[in-house]
Amino acid sequence: MKTTIIRYGLYGAALQIVFFIIYWLILRVQITPENYNTQEITGYLEILASLCFVYFGIRYYRDQVNGHIITFGKALGIGLLISLIPAIAFGLLDQLYTKMVDPHFLEKWTNIQVEQLRKSTPPAEFPAKVKALKAEIETYSNPFIGWLVMFLTVFFIGVIVSAVSALILKRKTIKPNA
């Protein structure tokens, strides 16, 4: 089981690294107000793509290691453990990006958020909302907190992917050949 978890977790992490290299280092995509929403959607799609290995890892364990049988609980546990590896990697890649590749990322992101608040918030509430946003950014700029937020984001999605995969792949008995 440990080998399966490590293998498929590393596959997911490797895919994230490939996306990181292509998207940020080769294409040199920079955050702007015009492409912010697209980048956010792309980021979630990258997370989901890397977490597809949860499904494949559970299926591999069920079919190749465990005699074509797996309970929901065992499948869920394997999926959650596989999810830990891409979640750790994503948090580290986020810190690498925000601290080394684009150290002004948080400043640019904050400016975009302030502009969105300006458009959507009543003028009387705007200063308080900006103050709260800047306090959040200050907290997030702590490397451990920034890593933890990204880790938890990916891991939460991994919980969902693991549960769905476990439901799809659970099998208590071997189906007879027809």
Q: Per-residue pLDDT tens for 145-177?
A: 999 999 999 999 999 999 999 999 998 777 666
Q: Per-residue pLDDT tens for 18-52?
A: 988 887 766 666 666 666 677 778 888 999 999 99
163 falls within a domain: yes
Q: Which domain range does residue 152 map to?
A: 2-169
Q: Where are the alpha helices (DSSP H) in 21-97?
A: 36-60, 72-96
Question: Model's pTM, two decimal places?
Answer: 0.83
The domain tally of the chain equals 1
174 falls within a domain: no
178 falls within a domain: no
177 falls within a domain: no
Q: How many CB atoms lie within 10 A of CB 50?
A: 29
107 falls within a domain: yes
Q: With contact defined as beta carbons under 8 Å apart, do 61 and 4 qualify? A: yes
Q: With contact defined as beta carbons under 8 Å apart, do 166 and 76 qualify? A: yes
175 falls within a domain: no
Residues recorded for the chain: 178
Cα Rg of the chain, angstroms: 20
